[in-house]
Amino acid sequence: MSLYWLLVSLLLLLLLWSKRQLILLGSSLAGPWALPGLGNAQMIGKLKPEYIFLVFTELRERFGATYRLWLGPQLWVFLHSAEETREALNDATLRKAATFQQLGPLIGNGLLISHGRDWAVQRRLLTPCFQPQLLRSFAPAVNQHANRLLDKLQLTNGMGIEVTDHLFACLLDAIVDTSMGYQLQALQQLPHSPIVAAFHRSGQLLFKRMINPLLASDWVFERTRLWRELSVELQLIHQQMEHIIQQRHLQLKKDQQHKEEDEEEEEQPTKPHILLDAMLLAGWNHQQIRDQVNTFVFAGVDTTTAAMGFVLYALGKHPTVQEKLHAELKDFCAEEDWDALSGLVYLDAVLKEVLRLYTIVPSTGRQTTRETTIGGRRYCAGITIWINMYGLAHDADYFPAPYEFRPERWLHQEMPATPYSYIPYSGGPHVCIGRKYSLLLMKLLTVRIVQRFRLELVEPHAKLVLEAQMVLRSRDGIHIKFIPR
């Protein structure tokens, strides 16, 4: 018996010795009290979605510096300063946090979670699909989808509606049309659009897994009710995307045949391809293409929808801001000149302030793969480093009165924002590839909506309760009255 306990003690000592760098680093950082063996896993697992990002921000303010959490044997480190954030986002030795790999059932090895050579190849091929020249060519198509949304809103006759599904369906239609050449018509199917419901529910189920340490193992997760429900939603999404890919593939083949048959056609300069065409012409297989398609729909539509919801909320909440914006937009024609959107100074300030105050992606994570130094502190391999973008955007050292909605802070700035204190689309080499397109969509929809409607909140004095799922949301939705001007 004594020999058994001796062997157990030796094994524990060897384990502790192998983790000594991790333990020493964790011991050197401030953080909440942790239970032996469990760490802070019990605290994190019990948090409701509306409290998670708030707790992380509260801990940031309490410790006033980089702090740590233990999830069992895993060490999570939450960076504090903009300078540390800059170093982490530009550190080539870091990769996406292991937690994000749990999105694999939906987006596979897409650009959002791939790394190394796979990421570099994907990024190099897809970057030309977001050139300004190509984005400008999307204007007629996007305006058509905006017109359909406006017509839907007109039918409400000034009655209050929860607007999230309308925005999601409109943006889904626009992004699928302009990046894949397919008319999905999700907006016309509301309020019973299967694809909209499938994306919403998939995001909720994946997030439930991501915040539950007990479901980190694929073996465990795939034996749960959550997995069975997720599989049903994923089947619908994958079937729809496979259909879109196949249809576009057939269309490209026909176009190529017509081009070859026309022997008298003059050589035309190469034009940038839309997203799906670029992948098909590069010879990617359907699995690779589907991963990217799902990535752009899941990440692009979800984030832009959340942002647009908060734009409409902020304008309804602050009538003075809304009227000042309307004065700027009154004689502007978005249908004729997309380039002129960049000259709308107050619109730009409003959108920047919305993206700061309602930080759409509150945090992002990186995993150390080998020893590295960030902010003068040495990190060994195996540590999850979290960047609290919500905390940075609400730090009074960077933004005075950080919880007030003040678009004017972006006008005539005496001092520009501290680098990496405002990163709504992340930063460094992995900065969001579709950020310019997302902003263009937001600008266009905001212009068209404000020109046609006066926005009022259904319950002007109700408290806005935020929750962090995949993106920041209003727990109770965004309820708006669209009153024709």
pLDDT tens per residue, the chain (485 residues)? 577 666 666 666 666 665 678 888 888 999 999 888 788 887 877 777 777 888 888 899 899 899 999 988 889 999 999 999 999 999 999 999 988 889 999 998 888 888 889 999 999 999 988 888 888 888 889 999 999 999 999 999 999 999 999 999 999 999 999 999 999 999 999 888 899 999 999 998 998 888 787 888 899 999 999 999 999 999 999 999 999 999 999 988 887 776 665 655 555 545 557 899 999 988 898 889 999 999 988 889 999 999 999 999 999 999 999 999 999 998 888 666 677 888 899 999 999 999 999 999 999 999 999 999 999 999 999 999 999 999 999 999 999 999 999 999 999 765 677 899 999 999 999 999 999 999 999 999 999 999 999 999 999 999 999 988 889 999 999 999 999 98
CB 96 within 8 A of CB 367: yes
Q: Please tell me the total number of residues recorded for the chain in this structure.
A: 485
- Coil vs helix vs strand at 364: strand
Structure tokens at 203: 């995001």
CA angle 470, 421, 392 (to 5 degrees): 55
Task: State how many domains the chain has.
Answer: 1
Any idea what DSSP says for residue 360? Answer: S
- 2 is a domain residue: no
- 14 is a domain residue: no
Buried b (16+ CB within 10 A) or exposed e, 285-294: eeebbbbbbb
Q: Write down the pLDDT at residue 397.
A: 92
The CATH number given to whatever domain includes residue 251 is 1.10.630.10
Q: Can you give the residue range of the structural domain that contains 345? A: 20-259+272-484
169 vs 186: CA distance, rounded Å: 5
Q: Write down the pLDDT at residue 71.
A: 86
- 126 is a domain residue: yes
Is 333 assigned to a binding site? no
- 387 is a domain residue: yes
114 vs 90: CA distance, rounded Å: 16
Q: Write down the pLDDT at residue 36.
A: 80
- 216 is a domain residue: yes
- 267 is a domain residue: no
Buried b (16+ CB within 10 A) or exposed e, 349-369: bbbbbbbbbbbbbbbbbbbbb
Q: Write down the pLDDT at residue 17.
A: 63
454 vs 268: CA distance, rounded Å: 47
328 vs 307: CA distance, rounded Å: 21
Structure tokens at 359: 């930080």
- 360 is a domain residue: yes
Taking the model in full, what pTM does it have? 0.91
Q: Write down the pLDDT at residue 78.
A: 95
Structure tokens at 108: 């596979």
